[in-house]
Amino acid sequence: MSVVTQPSPADVRAVLDTVPDPEMPPVTIGDLGMVVEITVSGSKVGISLVPTFSGCPATAVIREEVAKAVALLDGVDDVTVRFVRDVVWEPERITARGHEKLHEFGIAPPGSGQTLIQIGGLRGGVRCPLCGSRDTVVDSPFGPTPCRSTNYCRACRNPFEAIKP
Footprint of another protein (CB under 8 A): 50, 53-57, 85-90, 116, 119-120, 122, 139-143, 146, 150, 164
User: In angstroms, what is the minimal distance from the CB of 5 to another protein?
Assistant: 34
**Which residue, among 127, 21, 150, has the nearest Cα to 159 in the 3D structure?**
150
Pick the closer one to another protein by CB: 12 or 34: 34
In degrees, to the nearest 5, what angle opens at C-alpha 106 toward C-alphas 101 and 108?
Answer: 80
User: In angstroms, what is the minimal distance from the CB of 8 to another protein?
Assistant: 29
Tell me the C-alpha distance between 122 and 143, whole Å: 14
Q: Are 105 and 24 in contact (CB under 8 A)?
A: yes
Pick the closer one to another protein by CB: 84 or 155: 84
Pick the closer one to another protein by CB: 24 or 76: 24
User: In angstroms, what is the minimal distance from the CB of 96 to another protein?
Assistant: 23
User: In angstroms, what is the minimal distance from the CB of 107 to another protein?
Assistant: 16
Pick the closer one to another protein by CB: 69 or 87: 87
Helix ranges, the chain (H): 9-16, 59-71, 96-105, 116-121
User: In angstroms, what is the minimal distance from the CB of 10 to another protein?
Assistant: 27
Pick the closer one to another protein by CB: 7 or 143: 143
3-state DSSP assignment of residue 151: strand
Inter-axis angle of helices 59-71 and 9-16, to 10 degrees? 130
What single-letter amino acid sits at 5?
T
